[in-house]
Chains A and B, each alone.
Chain A
Amino acid sequence: MEFLLLGSVALYFLSALGSLSFGRRSPGGWIVPLSSVLSSLMAVLPLVSVLACGSILDFRVPWGFPVGSFHVRMDMLSGWFVLILSLVSPAVALYGRGYLSNRGETVRGSWTGFFLQMLSGGIFMVLISYDGILFLLSWEIMSMAAFFLVMFDHPREENRRAGWIYLVATHLGTAFLFFMFFLLGAKAGSFDLDSLLGLGGMANLVFPLAIVGFGAKAGFLGLHLWLPEAHPAAPSHGSALMSGVMVKTGIYGVLRVLAMAQEWPQWWGWLLLILGVASGLGGVVHSVVQRDLKRLLAFCTVENMGIILIGLGIGVLGTGYDRSVGVIAMGGALLHCLNHSLFKAGLFMAAGSVIKTAGTGDMDWLGGLCRTMPRTGTAFLVLCLSVCGLPPFNGFVGEFLIYTASYLTVVPGAMSSVGLRIGGFVAISSLALVGGLAAMAFLKAYGMVFLGFSRSDGAAKADPGSDMVVPMSSLTILCLVLGLAGSASILMAGSVATAVHPLDLSLGSLTPLAEVSKAYLNVSFISFVLFGAGFWLWRLRARLQRDRTVSLGPVWGCGYGNPSARMQYTGSSFSQPVFAAFRSFLRSEVAGSLPEGYFPGPSIFHADTSGVFHRYFYGPLFGTVMKVVGEARKLHHGGTHLYVFYVFAALVAVLLWSLR
């Protein structure tokens, strides 16, 4: 088992090198997808033994470094996230082959393959490292591989800027993680996670560090700045892997810290909940007003991280009062991690297909692709329904769990603590609002890209090849299957959630999850019945229309018989109500001129929503840092006599200190 697990990781790194060595030749294109598929197949047995049988795979060898050791372990929590990686990674690799083909750039293709596999391998290592030093090492491999993917199209200036922002963000996060691990390691005398159990009594100091460190990777609101920059810049399969899986390592880190802590103070739950509400609402409001498809998806990732955090928050809060609520919400958060990976990776792939065939990702220049790219259009439709958490697709299952847990907190029962009830109250209202606005974002995304008239001549000619459609469709089908088999996935996620719980768990704690899972059978049942009813109505419709005149004509335009694509509603107009309602939050800069006079000339409208945090927090912060650093530069003007003086001063200082 351990051998298979290590082989599966090693294969990623080997295929990365393989992609470099053979990538210039045509068969090299197959190395990356094949090895990813093989890797996932190798991981099947270990995953089954961990997730289904509850065994723990552990492998440890000392290494040459003075600190740490090569200690790898896969338990339930790691296994769950490895499962996510193993599902998404092959699809991404296969898609990448199609996405990079006929770009006439085999060199870049081979490098992209290299970094893609390094990223997958790095994520894998992060998930199974059971030693602080090894963890940080893997964390850096993962972060740097992602950086090079963001820089894929480096000749364009905005991409270099995106890469730069990402680099700063990720290293700010890593700095906090270093601090956290060294605090823990110094106290415990070892970096092995086993010896850090209970967080050495520094739990309340470690937790905020973990939130900032892991939050920078997961894109919590305030630490999310790199997401909307980096995802559009990376090649689409890179964004799919980053947004689908890499971002989840941040969530994994938070969960790992929770699992290591022996008990969870209440304020952790509140912190997670408030962060979740902020990320959810902030992410979704920004998402609605984006013009660029991939930026919209990136902000939507922030929003979904918010939903996951709300689940974690209720989970941690609920644990203090009533175990069942905690387990249900945790299960919901974990399940939403899996689901979000599937549909977000699929959505990025669909967006990549659109960008590749239509040549732009700007929604105000797209439209009508449903007719030229039917397969991509249908897949995107299903993925939109999933991401909005609509039944019967998989997004609904995770949200259903988190909602149910929140509802359980307000219903009087074993616990009637006011604090917990307020928590549930906040969770329900924000989840509902986030859900509604997310629907708006995706109505816009799908409607503007795939429906109506094409808004520019450069719109797509045809569906991309099957090597791009197949991986996307397979994720789409997974979304439907996991949604219809929601009861099973609830039980799966539930068993992982119980493993994270700090309490000593008996088998009895699974009963609330079993109840929810049983309740969900009704949802699947109703879905099937409604599918049948819909099919019957569709048939009825066809039969009634069979012998009548059904003709085509122009749509109603108030008597104006010559509508053009330019007169269509654009994405910007569609999101105007949200734009207006959240004006004070978005702080957009709007410039433009209305048509005036009897013979109006051209009019212009331009809105820039760069985000509040850029302008009001990070701008001033980095400005101050620059000032301070600029002052410090004066100490270092290059004159030798100054340095001699420094040496002398240091000597004197040391002398004085030793004479104390």
Chain B
Amino acid sequence: MSGKTKTEIAIYAVVCLAILLVPLFLDDAFLLNKYARYLVLGMLAIALSLSWGYAGILNLGQATTFGLGSYCMAMALKLKTIPVHTGSDGLPDFMVWNNVAELPWFWKPFYSMSFGVAAGILIPVLFAALLGWFMFRGRVTGVYAAITTLAAMVVVQLLIIDQQAYTGGFNGITDLAQFDVAGFAFDAYGPAIYYLVAICLTASLFVALAITKSKAGLIVQAIRDEEDRVRFFGYDVALYKIFIFSVSGAIAGLAGMLYTIVMEFASPTFLGVPISLSVVIWVAVGGRQSLLGAMLGALVVTGMQGALSESETFLDSWTLIMGLLFVLVVLFLPKGIAGAVETIAGRFERRRVLARRRSKRADAVGTARHLESLP
């Protein structure tokens, strides 16, 4: 392990520790819920950073996997509630409104919470893998891959809205039970949920970091920089891309599940174009080639958005400022704030090394003179 990797791990660990310690200094249920929501969006940014920053796949439909995870969790939590109209073992309320006679087959396994949690990761992974297989085996790259992911997301969203009887349509799935593990219930407005999100965030961050440092991760980065050359070396380029795309889908799916737990509902807007493009902004601003940068970008931008949109003067101009900031970052900081920090740090490092070399040379010259002066 190189010294640079060690520093990186140390920085990541310090940031995660700081995030975990927040509830000790903050005793406000509403704020904790808000911060937990930001952290979930930070996980989504990590997912996009993996595929966009490290593999060069601009996924304009990152919210698809996020939304699929969110719906899986919502389905499981919905079945844990006791329906108002039909009593226990009855149908969820929106199915009753839509005259559904019995629970559709694909809802039944969600009676088991562990199935729901597993599905919340596996279904997004499956979706990402299939879409990746479809695109990358056909060598769809760059702009076209971006458009394909965007179109695929809109298709999934339209289907969910259209199949109102099975998905709740526009309204999404609401009135959910609390998520609980072995009898311990996670209240959306309590510190427990914050810790759950923070731990998941830390885990995804380090898993993602480990992947980028692994051999597969290095090949993926090589593909980003020069796809044809890697192909000529005999690597199966599509396979590596599908792999990283699926990992990104898994993290987004996990984030989606947590989002449902924090927000206490699932909605087709979770798979919408606005949220997908927001993630792109956060990652671009934070720095797409740094997992931590992307995550902090999400926290800072959503935090700013939350703060500014509450004040009267900024309510309208916020979007304008956001757009301007985004264009400026794309133009002048293509690697985001993290990239800029890295460049500056690199410059200092070089200066330090040069200075050390110079002082060594001075030492050497000094010693030589000393030797000369000996009789």
A binds B: no
By a beta-carbon cutoff of 8 Å, the part of chain A in contact with chain B is none
By a beta-carbon cutoff of 8 Å, the part of chain B in contact with chain A is none
